[in-house]
Amino acid sequence: MTAPALLPLSGRRIPPLNLGPPSFPHHRATLRLSEKFILLLILSAFITLCFGAFFFLPDSSKHKRFDLGLEDVLIPHVDAGKGAKDTGVFLIHGPDEHRHREEEERLRNKIRADHEKALEEAKEKLRKSREEIRAEIQTEKSKVAQAMKIKETRVLPPVPVPQRVGVTGGDPEDTEIRKKREKIKEMMKHAWDNYRTYGWGHNELRPIARKGHSTNIFGSSQMGATIVDALDTLYIMGLHDEFMDGQRWIEDNLDFSVNSEVSVFEVNIRFIGGLLAAYYLSGEEIFKTKAVQLAEKLLPAFNTPTGIPWAMVNLKSGVGRNWGWASAGSSILAEFGTLHMEFVHLSYLTGDLTYYKKVMHIRKLLQKMERPNGLYPNYLNPRTGRWGQYHTSVGGLGDSFYEYLLKAWLMSDKTDHEARRMYDDAVEAIEKHLIKKSRGGLVFIGEWKNGHLERKMGHLACFAGGMFALGADGSRKDKAGHYLELGAEIARTCHESYDRTALKLGPESFKFDGAVEAVAVRQAEKYYILRPEVIETYWYLWRFTHDPRYRQWGWEAALAIEKYCRVSGGFSGVKDVYSLTPTHDDVQQSFFLAETLKYLYLLFSGDDLLPLDHWVFNTEAHPLPVLRLANTTLSGNPAVR
C-alpha cells in the first residue's frame, strides 16, 4: 500500500518530504456523459423549469404590507426584457391598488407565456431523433471549442519590452571560481538530462525509480512543471539546446484545458512566473501567450465573497476550494499574498487591468484589518473576511507575503510607496515580537502560536536573511546598516543549522530550546528536500557585501548536495541529515532546478549577470524586469492607459 501524498505545509515551497509514490495515478480517467444521458439531463431541466415554476408564481395573498409611511408594498422586480428573473425590488405605493393589480397580472401572464414556450420547446426536442439530438450537441460543443480557441489565440497588444540587461555572461575572472561555476552547470545538466530521459512531460522526476512523479499541488495531469520551472536557469547557464527542447515541448504539449485541480499559488509562482521569465529573457512570444492562457484559468479562484482566492482551482470547471487542514477553511497568507509580481506583469503585457485589480483588492482588504501586535496571522477566511487561527510565521504559511511587499516596491522602480510602507510596518513588528537571540548568540526568527513564541525556525524562514539585505536600502530612520547586519546574522544562524548535521545539509526546521540550538529534535523535521532558501540568502549577502564567507558556505552546500543527494538518475532529497548513511526520498523537486542550482550559479558569477537594479526575482527565483514607470499601476500599453 502506498503512502498518501502529503498536503502542502509551507508557503514558499510545497511539498515537504515524500515518503512514497502519490496515492493518485498520474492520469485520472475522464468520465464522459453519453448522448443518452445528456438528453435525459435536457428533458429533466425542462420538466423542472415547467413544473417548478408554479411554486413560484406570485400570490398576492402572501405579499405583506409594511407601514413605511405610504403603505409601501415590496414585490419582486421583473425586467420584461430579461424574462422572469428577480433582479431586485421596487416599491408600489399602497393607494394605487389598481396599478398594483395590473402589474401583478402582467407578471403572471409573462411567467405563463415563458413556461408555455418552454413546454413547446421540450415537446419539439422529444419529436427529434437521437441522431438529430446528437448533431445538436456536437454543434454546441464545436461552438464552445471554437470560442475557447479564439480566446486562446487572441493577439496580445504590443507593449514596450523592458531592456534585457545582463541576461547572459557573468564570467568570473578568478579561475577557481570559474571552475566552481562550471561544476554547478554540470549538476544542472545532470538533473535536466535525467529528467529528459526518464520523466519528460511529467511534473517531476523519481531519480532512483527512474520514472515521472507528481504531487497534489499539480493536480492529476502531466503539465511538465520541471520543464517550465527550469527554462530560465537553462537560458542563463547558456544551455541553449536544452532550452529549445523545453520550448518545443511547451509549444506542442502544454495544455491548460484539463480537468485538473491545482494549487493557485504554486502554479502562479512556478508556471506563470517561469513562463514570464522565459519570455523576458528570450523574447519568444510563445511563453507570454501561454502565461496569459494559464492566468485566465486561475481567475475563477477569486470568485469568493471577499475576493481572497481559494487555494485550489479546477482548471476546467473553475471550481475552487481550500485545503481541508487550513484553519476551518481559511486561505493562507503566503499563498494569496504571493501573486502581486506576476499579476502586475500580466496586466502590463495584456493591457487588461483585471489582474492588477485582483491583487490590489487583496492589499486594500489587508490594510483595513486589525492585526494582533501588528503581525499578520497566516490564515484568513475567504467567506467571512476574518482571521483564522492566530499563528504568525516568517517561514512556512507566511514567508513570501512579506517578500512580495518588498519586491512590489522594487519592481515598480521604487515608486510603489504603499507596498514599501506595509513592508516596513511588518518588519518592525516581526523584529519586535519574533526575532530573538539564543543563549549561544544565534539570532533566529520564531513563530507566534497559541499566544506565545515558539522558539523554532524553519528552513523556509532562512530566505529572510536575503530579504532583510535586499530591503536595507530605503529602510526607515537610516537603518540600512542595521538590516544588512540582521540579514548577515540570519545567514550565520542558517549556516549553523547546516554545519551541525552529519551531512552538512540543513534540516527542515530546528529548535532553540535550552542547550539545543539550531538542531532538529523531531524525526519528522530532519529531512532535506533540495531546498534553496539558505543558498538564496548567501547569494544576496554576497551581492551586497562581497564577503568571501558566503561563497565558501555556498560551496560547502554544493559539495554536500553532490555527495549525498546525487544519484545516477538525478538528484534526490534525504530523510535524515543527521545520519551518515542517508535514505533518499526519491524525488527531484522542480524547484531544485529553478532555484537551488540557479542561486548557486549566480553565487559564483559576476554581478553583471541579472543585476538587481534591473531584475527582481519572484519567490521561485524567476527573474522579472523592473518596470520603470512613473506610476506602477499603468504601463506603456495604450490599452492600460
Which residues are known binding-site members?
A: 619
Alpha carbon distance 379, 392 (integer Å): 9
Per the annotation, the verdict on 595 as an active-site residue is no
Of 533, 536, 586, 595, which residue is the catalytic one?
533
Alpha carbon distance 153, 135 (integer Å): 27
Alpha carbon distance 463, 441 (integer Å): 20
Cα first-last separation, the chain: 58
Per the annotation, the verdict on 182 as an active-site residue is no
From the annotation, which residues make up the binding site for Ca(2+)? Answer: 619
Of 508, 525, 576, 585, which residue is the catalytic one?
508
Per the annotation, the verdict on 508 as an active-site residue is yes
Provide the b/e sequence for 203-226 (b: ≥16 CB within 10 Å).
Answer: bbbbbbebebbbbbbbbbbbbbbb
Alpha carbon distance 406, 408 (integer Å): 6
Query: Which helix or strand (DSSP H or E) is residue 313 part of?
Result: strand 312-314
Of 232, 261, 399, 424, which residue is the catalytic one?
399
Q: Which residues contact 447 (CB under 8 A, 6 or more apart)?
A: 391, 392, 393, 394, 395, 434, 453, 454, 456
Per DSSP, what are the bridge partners of residue 454? 447
Alpha carbon distance 582, 423 (integer Å): 40
Q: Which residues contact 179 (CB under 8 A, 6 or more apart)?
A: none
DSSP string, 543-571: HHH--HHHHHHHHHHHHHHHHHTEETTEE
Burial class from Cβ neighbours inside 10 Å (0-12, 13-18, 19+) for residue 374 reads middle
CB atoms within 10 A of CB 201: 16
Of 229, 232, 242, 266, which residue is the catalytic one?
266
Q: How far is the CA of 356 from the CAs of 299, 311, 373, 425, in angstroms? A: 12, 19, 29, 23
Per the annotation, the verdict on 399 as an active-site residue is yes
**Longest alpha-carbon distance in the chain:** 97
Name the DSSP class of 345. Answer: H
Residue indicated by cell numbers 515518503: 19
Query: Looking at the annotation, which residues are catalytic?
Result: 266, 399, 508, 533
